[in-house]
Chain A
Amino acid sequence: MKVLRQNPLKYRFIILAFISVWFFNMGSQNLYAQKAKKNKVRLNVEYVKIMDGEAYFNIKASSKVKKKNTKVSNIDLSIFNVLEDEKILLGKSKTNSKGESKFVLKNTNTLQADSSYTFNFLITFKGNDSYKKAKKKISFIDANIEAKIITKDSVNYITATLFDANSNSPIIDESLTVQVQRLFNPVRIGEEFNNTDDSGSILVPIENGIPGIEGNLAIEVVLNESDDYGTVKVIVKAPIGISIVDESTFDQRTMWSPRNKTPIFLLIFPNLLIIGIWGFIIYLFINLFKLSKS
């Protein structure tokens, strides 16, 4: 107490010094946050059109963080239809945990192309605390594929024609892939590359013996990630496969089914045995009781 009375100013100075250090620290933290380095986001966009189905963008967002490619999840993206002098907002989308987003183009008829019949789009990301803003342009010309199954000399073929949707003119020398849908990944039919001829067509034989449910095959003809047209796919369903016989015993009473599907004979005989044996056992216990009473 004596000391305090001797020099009270000294302690006030110490408290002031503490408060100053605290404020300085707060400031330096803000400075640090401002200086935090933001990573670049790379947007990858693929246009996919399924004939008589939907058209959509497959958007993938990634970033190089500490020299490692990382999927960027949960970021907001805006999708614009770009015209010569304006941008029309089509909608917004968000990447999932895998850094992917599927943006379905609704009302494709309302989309507008430029004077060369090319559709232009812009996908933008505004940026956030961790990532810088980013954008990606994508352009394509609308193309269609028509396909059908034909049979010549007992051999089934798939014939497909690729043509410009606007002018209906055939698109020549583009590679189409023919494949049959399977549970996980499609299986290719014929050659890897089937280039369209002068009429924009291909003709691919379909081998016999491809299995399908009730003999139905879903055959796809795909123009894969074309620079000009994007990905265009047509699916033709045809009953030309071998019928898969469903051998599942799921609904049957089997030795390996759950107990509510126990085979009838297993319900009858073991239960008869159990009841029979335990019937005698109960009878014997009754006899023990009789013995004690007789």
Chain B
Amino acid sequence: MNNYDKLLKDLAPRKFKKLGVIWTSLLIIIIILGIVAYIDQLIKGQVVTNMRDYSLWGIYISNFVFFVATSFVGSVAVAILRLTHKTWRTPLVRIAEIITLASIIMAGITIMIDMARPDRLLNLFIYARLQSPITWDVIIIPTYIVISFLLLYFPLIPDLAILKNHFKEKSPFLSKWYGKLSLNWTGSEAQKAIQTKSVKIVAIMIIPVGLILQTIDAWLFSTTYRVGWNSTNMGAYFISGAFVAGIGALVVVVYILRRTYHLENYITDLHFDKIGRLLTLACLTYLYFNINEYLIPAFTASVEEEIHLRSLFTGHYAPLFWAVTIGGLIIPIIVLIFKKGRKPLPMFIIGMLVVLGSWWKRYIIVTSTLLHPFLPIQGVPESWHHYFPSLHEWLITFATLAMALLIITILVRYLPIIPIQRTADEQEELKTNKTTKS
């Protein structure tokens, strides 16, 4: 077996084994439960949620912000590393691109779930006001979805052509589809030139668009003057938070796929070490913006700000706030500083902590502020002073998370998770270099 055949054997998509089938079935069951809950929400209205006049945004919006943040991994891990010519990125980029696409699609769907009348979605375009951050959001999310798709698709084309030939005998049906999607790729110089140029453009473009997306997401909050959101730090704070969430998610998915598909020869400890360093940088940056976000208001707090901060530091939200800050940020930094902490298993555990921390962090950002309104309502029911998601909200949210994972699972099932052509080229290059040197 020559090197190329081994590559194909290792990296070409494979049928799910028993575990894969159970995993996919589990995701589908969670999604069906969520769809049932959503249909009930459509019929009865959002009264089935625990969102009321105070907490008018809840778990749906925090989940939306989480998805938007996670999608930033495409800008960071793929585009920046590509443009800075970091060769170690090769086995990680496809996975990052898949996470990006799945997350941003689910962000778009989640925001629609939060609308009580999704049939009025078109009104957001028809009556759009360019002054409104909602309009900016409505424009940027579809844009980012398209760019994320192109970021995944362009580098994939040569691999699709390889898979077309690979599956010609094994599965003519799959081969036919790979052939269609490979756009008659022959690897000619003209095709390579167009593809290289297009990949470069999309890699450059996704960085500013990703930054705009995260910033708009932050401005959705900071333009409302609300305590806890009214901060000029918010854009940078969200970008750095997205940096953390995206890389955290990448670490988790990379670890699971590495173990499942036995890719230890391709995704090595070196890759975990490198990505661990990147995650440390992300966490340190986010910690810095967290200090900015909380320390200055703690010094200059108005009465309302003080109440808000007290609820975070020592009040109702304190256990969650400190769990998220320490568990999702400080512990990862401490562990990742050490080389042993950047080994695959510790990295996976840290990645899980970071992802969980990122999700709950957004929950804190959204709900704690809303429970301290500018204009308190007289005679408001006691229950409005508190918010915890209802069963409907949990089921629907879990379903959206399951949908994101299902998109990743399906793409992983049918696409090579490590670029075959590029890995082959790199190996060839390495061999040539060695021969030249000797």
Contacts and interface: CB of A to CB of B under 8 A. Distances in A.
Contacts, number: 64
Contacts of B198: 284, 287-288
B138 to A, nearest CB: 12
A209 B207 CA distance: 58
Of the listed residues B129, B139, B184, B185, the one surrounded by the most CB atoms of chain A closer than 10 A to its CB is B129
Nearest to B151: A284
Nearest to A256: B131
Given A274-B139, A278-B143, A281-B143, A259 B209 contact: no
A259 B205 contact: no
A53 B150 CA distance: 77
Contact of A255 (B131, B143, B209): B131
Interface in B100-136: 127-131, 136
Interface of B: 127-131, 136, 139, 143, 146-147, 150, 153-154, 157, 183-185, 188, 190-191, 194-195, 197-198, 201-202, 205, 209, 212
Contacts of A278: 143
Interface stretch (A30-38, A172-180, A263-271): A263-271
A287 B136 CA distance: 27
Contacts of B202: 284
A81 B295 CA distance: 80
A277 interface: yes
Given A266-B131, A291-B185, A292-B184, A283 B201 contact: yes
Q: Which 6 A-B pairs have the closest CB atoms?
A: A292-B183, A259-B129, A287-B198, A294-B190, A255-B131, A291-B183
A64 to B, nearest CB: 33
B209 A277 contact: yes
Contacts of A256: 131
B130 A270 contact: yes
Given A270-B130, A291-B183, 10 more contacts: A262-B130, A266-B131, A270-B136, A281-B143, A281-B146, A283-B201, A284-B201, A284-B202, A288-B153, A294-B188
Nearest to B157: A291
Contacts of B157: 291
A280 B209 CA distance: 12
15 contacts: A259-B129, A263-B131, A266-B130, A267-B130, A270-B139, A273-B212, A274-B139, A277-B143, A277-B147, A284-B202, A287-B197, A288-B153, A288-B183, A291-B183, A291-B195
Contacts of A270: 130, 136, 139
